[in-house]
Amino acid sequence: MKHRTALAAAATAALCSGSMLAAVPPAGANGDHDGDHDGYDVVIPLTERASKQLRDGQNRVAATGKADAWADDGQVVLSFPVAGGDHRRHGDGGDRAMALKGGVAYTGAGPDITWERLKVKDNGVITAQLRDGTRSAILRVAGDRHHRGGDHGGDHGGYTLVLTAVGAASLNNAAQGAPFSAGDAFAGGNDCR
């Protein structure tokens, strides 16, 4: 079990910009960086499909609090400063988790949703406090097999963050046309074309 936890933590680290604790881009780089970070961020590049769906029609995605969001070649990139000095805290259920500052807001045809008080757990799961106040798993690290709802199935190389059922349902509350499903690639990995 310890081996699996270590592997999940390593996969999460590899997914987030090659290093989970990445150097922050310079203030003003790529748009909206506020420059108020302590030097360590979790940087999450969304897939092309997720970026498109979150900005399609009336849909919009924005960083909240100390988080940043910018577009890089049409893809949304989210950056969250790591909270605290030691970067690792005990989280829900005794699992070790890294708390992140800031959050994400999604607006669209339906009610707005937010993912706040994000935590990256050692088991490769990312949890968030939702608008209704509940804490839920919204994303999880997947290996080299995942699907992209609506387009086609198949193998996709690399580690990826995929939506959980709660994460997909949350986005579908705001997004026009309910384009997200549990297991959809949300960030990292390789997009299929």
pLDDT digits (tens, 9 = 90+) for 25-35: 433 333 444 44
| 58 domain-assigned | yes
pLDDT tens digit string along 117-148? Answer: 999 988 889 999 998 899 999 999 986 544 44
- Residue holding tokens 């780089």? 29
CA distance 151 to 173: 21
Percent of the chain with pLDDT over 90: 39
Establish if 130 belongs to a structural domain. Answer: yes
Integer Cα distance of 44 and 100 in angstroms: 12
| Largest Cα–Cα separation, the chain | 45
Q: Does a structural domain hold residue 32?
A: yes
CA 184, CA 191: separation in Å to the nearest integer?
A: 11
Q: Which two tokens stand for residue 68?
A: 């940043």
Q: Total structural domains in the chain?
A: 1
DSSP H or E run through 129: strand 125-130
> The whole model's pTM is what?
0.73
Q: Which residues of the chain have pLDDT under 50?
A: 1-11, 14-15, 17-35, 37-38, 85-87, 89, 91-92, 145-157, 190-193
